[in-house]
A and B are shown apart, each in its own frame.
Chain A
Amino acid sequence: MSATSRTRRPAKSPLHGAAGWANLRGRHLGSVAFLTNRVTGLLLIGYLYLHLGVLYLRTEGPGSWASVLHLFKNHYFLALESLLILFILLHGLNGLRLALVGTGVGVRHHKTWFTAAMSVSVALYVVVVLAMFGVI
């Protein structure tokens, strides 16, 4: 009963494999949760590299950094940054749900967990956006 006794299905190309988990046709809420976590995770990784790139500009001198700070105060940039908060909330709270369900806690209520996680994420996101744009 070792790993070598496993059956092997035909190997698929990475693109075909990605299409396998990204296809939501005929799928249910669990797949939406699964895809949400993957997409937000990939976006957060992308942001991490962008963040490192921006930090690198500090080595270019004060003038370069001042122009970056000016960009940060732009409303369009703030809107994009608010999306970052949304992705962190979605990924983090959905990840917490996965950690619980994945170790056998509340498995039968996984849809309720997901709905709750998404609702809290959106509620917190609205508060953050209002705070970012000085409404509250």
Chain B
Amino acid sequence: MTATEERVSSPQTAGTPLTRRFLVTRRRPDGARSRVDEFEVAVGPDTTLLDALREIRSHHDRSLTLRYSCCHASCGTCGMRVNGREVLACVTRLDGLGPGPILVEPLANARVEHDLVVDMRDLYDSLEPAGRPLIRQDERLAGTETDAPVLPFARYEDCIECGLCVSACPIVGSDSLYLGPAALTAAWRTVQEPRGADPSQVLAWVDDEQGCWRCHASFECTEVCPSGGDPAGATMALRRELTKRKLGRIARRGRRER
């Protein structure tokens, strides 16, 4: 397989097929330098990025490594970067990517295992100290009524742990110790609804220069979240809560001293 190999596949969809050019970043686990392979794939109006990558894998290069499972934005396993932007491949239609070649890269800010597959253990481990309270909305019992107070937190229940937010964060990209948006969102979720956990312990965990105060408010995490979550909003809410508690402590100390 050369770096610029080009092959054209047979059309997979009805109607007039369109050929799109894909530039796929390849990296082997042996530490060799990454390269970009070029493929041309016939696509239809509803073809998703995942469809095209599976087509490449099936008919062009069996060694292309990618990860996917549910194909409907529920499992969060097919996260990658397309033309520099984090997406879930299974729900990214090619006609929404504009004309021109499509550059496909693995998620940033994570170790690349092979081609488009990255090591997700850092992300999962970062959620552990927050008590890992993320429960998906579809895991609620069918037919039960939603408690009104739960609604504000529903967006965090939808976190699919895909890691797009961590990949998009410019601070994670420059500071390997920063907790990152996924962990901070989980922390805020625990503060909001502790379910037996100690919120003050979680707040102490995020209250330092590598915690919620490290965020520089670029809001990229919120922009790329495929579940409509708001990790940046959660981070700012943690800051607001910490500021409120600190000001409260100062006020109480002032009253005692008077």
Contact = CB atoms under 8 A, between A and B. Distances in A.
Interface of A: 1-3, 5-12, 17-21, 23, 25-31, 33-34, 37, 98, 101-105, 107-108, 110-111
B171 A3 contact: no
B237 interface: yes
B8 interface: no
Contact of B174 (A8, A18, A37, A101): A18
Interface string B171-214: 11111110100000000000000000000011011001010000
A111 to B, nearest CB: 8
Given A28-B223, A30-B220, A101-B217, A12 B174 contact: yes
A34 B216 contact: yes
B7 interface: no
A44 to B, nearest CB: 17
Interface in B215-243: 215-220, 222-223, 232-233, 236-237, 239-241, 243
Nearest to B238: A104
Contacts of B239: 102-104
Q: Is the interface of A mostly helix, strand, loop or mixed?
A: helix
Interface pairs A-B: 10 shortest CB-CB: A20-B173, A26-B84, A104-B240, A30-B219, A17-B174, A26-B85, A25-B84, A21-B170, A34-B218, A9-B176
Interface in B51-93: 81, 83-86
Contact of B233 (A6, A25, A108): A108
Contacts of A104: 236-237, 239-241, 243
Nearest to A106: B236
Contacts of B83: 25-26
Contacts of A107: 232-233, 236-237
B173 A21 contact: yes
A30 B215 CA distance: 12
B175 A17 contact: yes
Interface stretch (B9-17, B42-50, B121-129, B143-151): B121-129
A104 B239 CA distance: 7
B126 A6 contact: yes
Given A21-B171, A27-B220, A30-B219, A9 B236 contact: no
Interface in B101-156: 108-111, 121-122, 125-126, 128-129
Contacts of B81: 26
Given A1-B201, A20-B170, A103-B239, A6 B220 contact: no
Nearest to A8: B176
